[in-house]
Structure 1
Amino acid sequence: MRLIKARDLGYEPAGTIFSNVSDFSAERVNRLKDKCYDDIEISGFNLMCGGDERGFFHACIHMPSYVSLDKGVPIRLSSKDWLEPSDTSTADYEEKDLVIVWDRDEIQHMIDIFQLALDKLKSQ
């Protein structure tokens, strides 16, 4: 994995999985630079849909970060909730914002963990 400026996401290949770094953690990393040895807080997993030659990306698919309730009962997410690209873009990030970019092996590991969960659910 790599820690990069969010505004540089558009230079990454389409299909890049990234997680936003919390504002508190980003501020600390930006202030301390390579003297920062703390854990950082991340949120969500996002799929960057592709940038252009100037490094501007124009959409991404977010893993849902909320679930709607109807009278206290969670509403099942639809295919649209999982696959609909949002208009998140480079313009939504400030210079200080950071993201974690996951590498291919880490993404495969995530898939393996989800597959393990599915296998266990199927056996019940």
Structure 2
Amino acid sequence: MEYGAILREIRIRKGLSQKEVYTGIISKSYAIEFEKGKHVMRVDLLIQILERISMEIDEFMYVSRGHQLSNHARYIYDYSRFANTHNIPALYELLENLPYDDTLMSAVSAAEIRCRIAVLKKDGKNGDI
């Protein structure tokens, strides 16, 4: 779904008019076309609009992804859950399912998981809180 259509859906759910949301930021005609998906918007303008409807950019992106976490947010959630419950098998599975590419983030994530597994093994913990 286009960002304009998503913003329109949110605006309507909140009971806000286009005038309330867009006045002083973009023109009425631009707002109409944006909501129809015929225009793109600069990030700084989108942030101003989101501030006006009391929504953070992260929340907007979450909604735009169909209420799904980004890959990085999903990794952080899973890693935290498995590490904090000392679930070594789940950490191994998370490590196996990491997308291996040449990015620094991929290497750091893999190292983070390996270090946590090593610490848990050293402390003799596996599912014990």
TM-score by length of 1: 0.26
Structure having the larger proportion of residues in helix:
2
Q: Computing the radius of gyration over CA atoms, which structure comes out larger, 1 or 2?
A: 2
Structure having the larger proportion of residues in strand:
1
Structure with more relative contact order (C-alpha pairs < 8 Å, separation 6 or more): 1
